[in-house]
A and B are shown apart, each in its own frame.
Chain A
Amino acid sequence: MNIFTKLYYQYRRFAKSIRLFLLTAGPGIIVMVADNDAGGITTYTATGAKYGMHLLWFLVLLGPVAYYVQEMTVRLGAVTKRGHAEAIFSAFGRTWGWFSLLDLVLTDWLTMITEFIGMTAALSIFHIPAVLTVLICWIIMGAMIFTGRYWTWEKIALLFCGLNLIYIPAAFMVHPSVNDIVYNSLVPHFPPGGFTNELFFLLMANIGTTIAPWMLFFQQSSVVDKGLREKDIRNGKIDTAIGALLTVVVATVLIVVCGKLLNGVPVDDAAVAASTIMPTSRTIGTLIAIGLFDAGLLGAICISLASSWAFGEVFGWAHSLNNKVREAPWFYAYYFFDLLLAGTVVLIPGAPLVLITLFVQVIATTLLPAALVFLILLLNDKKTMGDYVNTRWQNIVNIGIVVVIIALSTMYGVSTLFPDIFK
């Protein structure tokens, strides 16, 4: 009898912790899956097509890196109850605050344009005109926030995250060698041809798509809007870890699919990859196109919210998804302004979309090191973080990651501006 009582108690305890986790989970999974946005999907297809499965180990390595960086925003949000923009203004003063806010707004807006480019390209495969795609996106994104409840918004966003896993069946359909996947995932090596300028660009593009400034702002604001507290930090970390795992799984699967079907074919666009695969396998091509649309949509939802939250925090507007439109008019107005502006740019005939994509890379490179430095400094401020300040081990890992990212992203930024400099 005693053993059954103990087992029942353990079961109840476990069930309760799962229920608690499900209540607090969301921001980490959403931000990490949204990280595989239209740009991300394009990067993975290009990586798979160019180098097959040879760079899988690099993506496996990026999972923990993304986790360690994003985990800091969970602690910062739960302890300070402030979004990232407000935390920077408060800690570093107005000059750094304005710099971060304006840089974020510009980067987010440009990235939003790339999301719309991805979505229109994805649906053009099904002969849906760009105008209709943009309209569909505006309606979905508007409907999601008009519910006036963070909970509803989050559950719909999680549904879109689930749709992001659409690539997994595609991987089974190409029948990859399990031994090849395991070897390429666990043994770091350069592809045949060694370390070249092109390889460096692709590696950096993979880093850039895994850790982006908007993610820091989004997850911290999301943690605050959800109302997570210090006691929820553990669940927030698990949520982020699951999200990081999903990001790596989606990236790996896509590289495997493109590595099998497009190896050696020059592909610089996920929509092109989908239409190239279509004649060979209509199902896989369709799955890639649907996944690309979903990735762009999820990215656009999160990025526009990151900017709206940041503005709301700094300007003191009501800025919660729990507010109705009439309660937080400026917050929602900014959200829609961002959406309308980005969607409209894509519809302008002859808009310099390639130049915009290039600009995104350079400006995101400028903000990323700044955002990471602010994050590390904030997490080491005892006055701000109290008992949740970075431990020595967390500092070793996080400062190591930040130093490497700053060095690489500087090289990337410089080589984007001056393509011949490292040749």
Chain B
Amino acid sequence: MALDKPVFIKPKLTLFNIIIGIILVMGLILTILRFTKGIGAVTNLDNNNPWGIWIGFDLLCGVALAAGGYVTSASCYIFGLKRYHSAVRPAILTAFLGYALVVLALHYDLGRPLRLPYPIFYSQGTSSLLFEVGLCVFLYLTVLFVEFTPAAFEWLGLKKIRAIVVKLILLLTIFGVILSTLHQSSLGALFMIVPSKLHPLWYSGYLPIYFFISSMFAGMSMVIFEGSLAHRYLENEMDATHKKEASGVAFGFAKAASLIMMGYCATKLIGLAVDNNWHFLGTSWGLWFMFEVVGFVAFPAVLFAMGSREKNLTMVRFAAIWTILGIILNRLNISIVAFNYHLPAADRYFPSLSEIGTSVFIVTLGIVAYRFITTRMPILHEHPDYKAH
């Protein structure tokens, strides 16, 4: 069980820690290179492809997969499904770290960290979708931070300020859902400015809706996946309530995700019909599109349904991983694979090793921060002094 007050824990020299250490050192070297030599020294980006995997993976996938925060807190506090209460804190923590790392990753792409507050406080581009995304991410990161603080306050023993924040939870949850609805969809809407660059099978007037709907089942899958990881590697941090409720959370979210994923497939079908894109399905791009939608949305939706119906936790966890891969595939298809599809192969973008290394570094930072917090603060268990909030 985690320590319920702050003490220093001496790090152990395990294989996991050594690998993490190597990745962090490599990341720091790449960071120095990026900010001293410029973006051209570490990336394969050019004028044709100004957005690479730092946007396609770190930002688009990061935001979608951090949707577990708003999905879980809305289920618990707005829809009153208290059986998901034990999943709220891990989901909020993942979302908070996810969004914090999205902002960190954005620094690598933009390259001028001191200018970060400019779009919000100095020069607002109110007619730009990017401004809306930036404002939402800024506000939602703040909301997530405040939603996360009760765990930190319990750990630090600050009872009075914790009591104030707990009273604000419902308000923060509503605000979080509104902000998520806005920016999850706006990230899809960003690509509506490139009708001639994005392949017609992925380009659609429904892109904002696709992004928002897919964020819901992405978030649910992340909560299931993260729960299975916590069960395996952080079991000694979990109390009896969390262990007892874990399978109920997985089956409940599997059922919900399954229905939403079928709805998503339906809207995809409607998108094809509205734009009359049927003839593209017979091409190689069409096969790739079918691979994504049937293989990574419809298939895991059926797995989720069967797993939830048969109460098969292994099947549900497998479907969650499959869905997460599908979300990553979808976001990469839109931002990289089907983007600039008409360009000759020589002009197409492929990430450099430094870009991939930086993304691995950022994900590793998230894992380290998650482990650091969950082994210290009451995330996977209730603090003995604050039972039954």
B is bound to A: no
- Interface on A for B, CB 8 Å cutoff? none
